[in-house]
Amino acid sequence: MAEDLVILDGGLATELEAAGFKMQGDALWSARLLHTNPQAVKEAHAKFLRCGADIITTATYQASVEGFVQHLGMTSEEASQLLMSGVQLARQAVQEFMAEGVHPGRRVPLVAGSLGPYGAFLLDGSEYSGAYADGMSAEELKAWHRPQIRCLVDGGVDLIAMETIPSLKEGQALLELLQEFPSSKAWLSFSCKDTQCISDGRRFSEAVQMASRSKQLVAVGMNCCPPALVEPLLESAAPHKSPDLHWVVYPDGGDTWCPGIGWQTREDKVPFADLSPTWRKQGAAWIGGCCRVSPADIAAARNQLLGSKSELSEIDKRCVKHRTFTRLKGEQIMAEKLLILDTDCGIDDAQAIMMALAAPGVKVLGITCCFGNASVEDVCQNVLRVLSVCDRTQIPVFRGAASPLVGNPDMPINHFGTDGLGDVFKDRDSEQWKSRVQTENGVNAMIRLVSENVGQVSLVALGPLTNLALAVKLDPSFPQKLRNLFIMGGNMEGKGNRTVCGEFNFVMDPESAYIVLEEFLCPTYIASWEFTCRHKLSWDFFDTWVGQDTASAEFMRKITSTCWAYSRGPDAVPSATAVVFGPGFVSYDSYAVAAAIDGGVVTGSLECAVRVELQGALCRGMLALDLGQKLHKAHRVSVMTECDLDKFSRLLTAALTLPRKT
């Protein structure tokens, strides 16, 4: 291997996000999937192997024994076993890949144990500055990394990938620590801020000179930096590298990371594969990619670098085609996923449910009901009406909480009528509806459905969070089994629609909202009241929308026809939304469902800790955003701030296409 080109894999988290998993703001990032969906991790490894990777890195970059204990409630022993499972998954992926027997001439791929910097645990972006190292001794840094290295070594990695290291001090500490594992080999890769320096401002050439003194390193280089920095960095440090040491190079895909927004595509970026031959000419022997580098990019780079020697097998070619399909598909709709909808079905809930039912590649496992816009009995009937008009009556409906955890329900002011659907139906409370509600309690059903599909279910909460709070109390492991959680509720600016400072869903049961946002440590995404109102649609859109020639559009026209919330005449009573944000059509709950269906709908968010206020005459039920990190909470949620209204309106338009009238 010392004399041959070695192709590394690309962005494991990027591939997992392409498969529909959301990791931004998660304290464990892709490492959480080791616990919730290990199969998805193995499948992502397999895609890189089939597209030409000679080395795959484990999903442990942001994994640590302390982090697993803190965020998953594990013992230290359980956390160690989970970290080692990342190695076992990668090893299984290699074994299954080789067993396919359709990769002639391919060497047996190696498994590199990913070891991220201490800054990755802090979740504050400091792995790109190294600022924390100034306040830590070398012994403190070694003490932090020691458990992770021990787990990777005990798990059986072929070598350790010490990557995205931002400071000379942490790099030196890692090299000293590596000596405690004398049989282990590693590479050391730095994050760099410009053409001369690593992230802490020290010269890259100094870092290479330091690395060249190690007898256990096989390579040194850089990763997770813009591709344009690679060539000048290699040139600056070439005289200082030991001839026994290889260059390892795996930059990101060339896009720009914008805090609070995410990756933004650069119009002037050069394809990753087109740059790799230049790095090869500079002596780089270990080449791969980091964030935003897909299996297809790795396949293209391998072909560029190896030419006719890199004949992809038929499976490899299908891998590239599949990745392209996934990317194109993701522009409109995410990969197939399982949803559970928890609702207090009023008119906007009905719109959101219809959106989920109409979305291709989405399966609604069940709908659990809760008091809120109406009594839980009315809510169950409302959901059944929606399923009936959409011809989806096979989806089970479950009765959940009838009241909040504390006190009696503060019933609404008939925003959507006394029954939640505009009071336009005469068969309210009839047996035809009551008999179709499942006998299993909604909370129990929620726990069962998620336990049967661990790591695969997106739970979308559209009403008070009582059912969710009861679920975590009955089964404390329930949140860990979820793929993610989407909530419509709360507020982010102190504006209220139910009280002065409180949003309806949270005010109806503040204690449950508090419990959910303290104890659900899965990836969590919040569509607040202000967010939905700021992205309202026009009434012209609404008129066209309900004017479609379908049974569901006719149903929507009917339930909104007498509801004061949809009245627009000169004598109409303005809603809180219209008073604060101006006139327009807001399908509140649909924003949470749209985000669960297609992550591209949300184009901006705040990643922060949150807490629900339980005291005060004015602020009880208010959602507080901890932008200054005063709460010292490790778990952060994603609070939506920007929306692609074109994508959202397309999803909403499709919601009223089931079924077409005959």
Binding-site residue ranges for Zn(2+)? 224, 290-291
Closest CA to 64 of 47, 83, 48: 83
CA dihedral 251, 253, 259, 261 (to 10 degrees): -170
Residue 336 Cα distances to 12, 63, 333, 356, 646, angstroms? 19, 27, 9, 12, 21
CB neighbour class for 185 (10 Å; exposed up to 12, middle 13-18, buried from 19)? middle
Residue type, 521: L
CA distances from 520 to 288, 406, 479, 480, 516 (A): 36, 20, 5, 8, 5
Q: How many CA atoms lie within 13 A of 129 on its CB side?
A: 8
Two structure tokens written together for 445: 């059903």
Place of tokens 């892709």: 30
Q: Could you tell me the two tokens for 325? A: 């399909």
Q: Residue 307 and residue 282: Cα distance in Å, rounded?
A: 18
- What single letter denotes the amino acid at residue 625? L
- For 94-150, give the DSSP string: HHHHHHT---TTPPPPEEEEEE--HHHHHTSSGGGT-GGGGGS-HHHHHHHHHHHHH
Q: Kindly provide the residue ranges of all beta strands, DSSP E only, lying in 272-361, ordered along the sequence.
A: 284-287, 337-343
C-alpha pair distances (Å), 205 with each of 126, 209, 242, 249: 21, 6, 12, 15
CB 442 within 8 A of CB 381: no
**Alpha-helix residue ranges (DSSP H) falling in 453-538:** 466-474, 478-481, 504-508, 510-519, 529-534
In this structure, are residues 640 and 625 in contact, taking their beta carbons and an 8 Å threshold?
no
- The stretches of 491-612 forming alpha helices (DSSP H) are 504-508, 510-519, 529-534, 539-546, 551-560, 576-581, 588-597
Please give the Cα distance from 471 to 485 (Å, whole number): 13
DSSP secondary structure letters along 144-175:
HHHHHHHHHHHHT-SEEEEEEE--HHHHHHHH
Question: CA dihedral in degrees (499, 504, 508, 513; nearest 10)?
Answer: -110
Phi, psi at residue 9, to the nearest 5°? -80, -170
What strand order describes the sheet that includes 457-461?
397-399, 362-369, 337-343, 457-461, 484-488, 524-527, 637-643, 602-612, 623-626
Measure the N-to-C terminal CA separation of the chain; round to a whole number of Å: 67
HSE at residue 578, side-chain half, CA atoms within 13 A, is 14
- Using CA atoms, how far apart are residues 522 and 451, in angstroms rounded to an integer? 15
Asked if 379 and 420 count as a contact pair (C-beta separation under 8 A), the reply is yes
CA distance 303 to 312: 9
How many Cα atoms within 13 Å fall on the side-chain side of residue 582? Answer: 6
Annotated binding site: 224, 290-291
